[in-house]
Structure 1
Amino acid sequence: MSPATPIAAARPLPATDEQPEDLTLEQLCHQLKAAKQAEADAIADRREVEEQIVAAIGELPDEGTAKAEAGDYVIKVTCSLSRRVDTNKLDELISSGAISPEIGKRLVRWKPELETRELRYLEANEPDLYTVAAQAITAKPSKPAVKVEEAH
């Protein structure tokens, strides 16, 4: 939603007796709370049905895709293993010679990740260096996070 997009034009709100532009901020908060609950309920319902489908299909591979057919439907259940690298253990294995550095580099991909705190430090304290570093960084606005809590 762009800054120029009015709240009411962004997405239709649930039906009320009032026009969307007449809603107060408190009423919008109430609608947001109701919409989030409906979303949570829908997600829970979807997950429950997915679990029932998985149970109905039966045995699944640890990794890969299981396929089934039911009437007019073709069902694909994709399974995977979540893997994490214990970098301390990997370093230990390489240091001990159990794994060569070449194999270690083949096993683990290095992915640059921005240290936002350091970038902000440069911006505030070393603007010349920040200007140079910023050439390698793309920044775009994220969706604004909205959190509504009861005031009591």
Structure 2
Amino acid sequence: MTTHHRLSAVRLLVQLVLAGVFVTAAFNKILDPQSFAVSVTSYRVLPLEASPWIALFLPWLEIFAGFGLLIRPIQRASSLTVSTLLLMFIGINLAAWVRGLEVSCGCFGASEVQTNYAWLITRNSIFWLGSLGLVWSSWRNAPARLRSQADSLE
């Protein structure tokens, strides 16, 4: 197996894992948006009125981004979306941990278990690194025309 084939296999594995995580997480939140809204509220980073809207919108973004990782024409945008979401989740959980909040993560739907911030941040950081690899790979494999257009914008 050549290096190119190994990298392609790793990329596919990362795509499948992240797609599975995001679609599964979204599905549980879509089934119970009220519980997810309570989780969103418990982080105390948004106005109270915004929590129900985030609880309705975010799972759909997660599901589309997750499936998008597997659909070639939108993989680049989806990998960038997943990477941005993961960075946001890491920051929100880090802020809650620093402030000493006891919240239920809500990552995969309603849960009575107190959040283990160290594990959650570590897990999301690993996912984030994988998503950065997808962003880099999709950019590296972009047609030269797109890369030159982006470079001219800088």
* Larger RCO: 1 or 2 (CA < 8 Å, sep 6+): 2
**Which structure has greater strand proportion?**
1
Do both proteins adopt the same fold according to a TM-score greater than 0.5, normalized to the shorter chain?
no
**TM class by shorter-chain length?**
under 0.3
**Which structure has greater helix proportion?**
2
Task: Name the TM-score, length of structure 2 as normaliser.
Answer: 0.26
